[in-house]
Amino acid sequence: MHHLVLSVVVITVIVIYVVLPLIFRYSATFQRQLVFLPYTTSLRWPIKVNYSQPKIHGLKGARNFYISIEPKVHVGAWHVLPRDLVDTLSDNTEQSLANGNPIVLYLHGNSGSRATGHRVELYKLLQFHNYHVIAFDYRGFADSTQVLMTENGATIDAIRVYEYIRQFSGKSTVIVWGHSLGSAVAIKMVAELCAVKQSPDRLILESPFNNIRDEFRNHPLTLIYRPLSVVDRFFTERLETNNVAFDSDVHIAGVECPTLFLHASDDRIVPISLTRKLYEAGLKSRPSNAAALQFIEFPPDLHCGHECIYSAPQLPSIIQQFVDVDRF
């Protein structure tokens, strides 16, 4: 029995400290899967999510639809109407986007889908305060086309959904809201849009990080590797080569629209120090004529963590003030 236990321990150590780092380093597919974690959708309850009926998830006045990104690639999306339109419109269509209510394009983080609980709670909050919400799943997630995921692919998806919104938004304010990994997608897409003078009116970054390398170094799952310097040697060197670098601290130099940083000090997934680094990078690198950056920290007594800033009682007024000040 003693030898069996010892053998199990040795094998486990070899798998954790040798096999997994080697697979991560030399398999681009495995690395991308670990960054995006798309398959966790099927591991959460309920196992089979019905995306075609948002009302099952408690969303009134919401519709499910699909947006073509490129040949053979589409993404699944929800349009959640503002509260005041839910009972007044006979049908939820694209034309309602031009009614003047602000529109939030929501970019979720890794794992799960647009139907994940904390995301739905944010949609409900925004709906109650009379925002349109467009939420979608990147390629490789949920009911979107199951193809290879990359940083560029997620960015293209976000830009195409933004372009879809702009077709119908009229003079309505358009806000891009990215959470966690979605904040990195948001920063890159907005920088690219600013470069061609198609910037959104506002950018909100919830629990963002400065780059994926620092996030790996600080993530709880890499804690066991840190004493051996394996994180840098095996987990971060090939991120750029495999198109999952997410260098937000570089891309933020191209973001010119008003930008709001939201982070909880008790976030254990993305330390608030990484958001501060990103904020400082933006202050230093953006053009002098770029719009202001604003940083809001939520104290630990609110228990917001990584996913629950939507529950902070002051959030609605923070968002409203950010949207209303110097509105375009």
Q: What is the three-state SS of the chain?
A: CHHHHHHHHHHHHHHHHHHHHHHHHHCHHHHHHHHHCHHHHHHCCCCCCCCCCHHHHCCCCEEEEEEEEECCEEEEEEEECCHHHHCCCCCCCHHHHHHCCCEEEEECCCCCCCCCHHHHHHHHHHHHCCCEEEEECCCCCCCCCCCCCCHHHHHHHHHHHHHHHHHHCCCCCEEEEEECHHHHHHHHHHHHHHHCCCCCCEEEEECCCCCHHHHHHHCHHHHHHHHHCHHHHHHHCCCCCCCCCCCHHHHHHHCCCCEEEEEECCCCCCCHHHHHHHHHHHHHHCCCCCCCEEEEEECHHHCCCCCCHHHCCCHHHHHHHHHHCCCC
* Residues facing 206 on adjacent strands: 179, 262
Q: What span, in angstroms and rounded, lies between the C-alpha atoms of 171 and 217?
A: 43
pTM of the model: 0.89
For every one of its 328 residues, what pLDDT tens digit does the chain have, with 9 covering 90 and above? 566 656 655 566 555 555 566 656 656 666 667 778 776 554 444 457 899 999 999 999 999 999 999 999 999 999 999 999 998 877 778 999 999 999 999 999 998 999 999 999 999 999 999 999 999 999 999 999 999 889 999 999 999 999 999 999 999 999 999 999 999 999 999 999 999 999 999 999 999 999 988 887 776 666 655 555 655 666 666 666 777 789 999 999 999 999 999 999 999 999 999 999 999 999 999 988 889 999 999 999 999 999 999 999 999 999 999 998 764 4
Q: Which of 175, 204, 170, 176 is nearest to 100 (CA)?
A: 170
Strand 62-70 and strand 259-264: pairing? Answer: unpaired
| Residue-level pLDDT at 66 | 98
Out of 3.90.930.12, 1.10.150.120, 3.40.50.1820, 1.10.3720.10, the CATH code matching 39-230+243-324 is 3.40.50.1820
| Residue-level pLDDT at 183 | 98
Q: Which residues are catalytic?
A: 180, 267, 306
| Residue-level pLDDT at 126 | 98
| Residue-level pLDDT at 217 | 75
| Residue-level pLDDT at 288 | 86
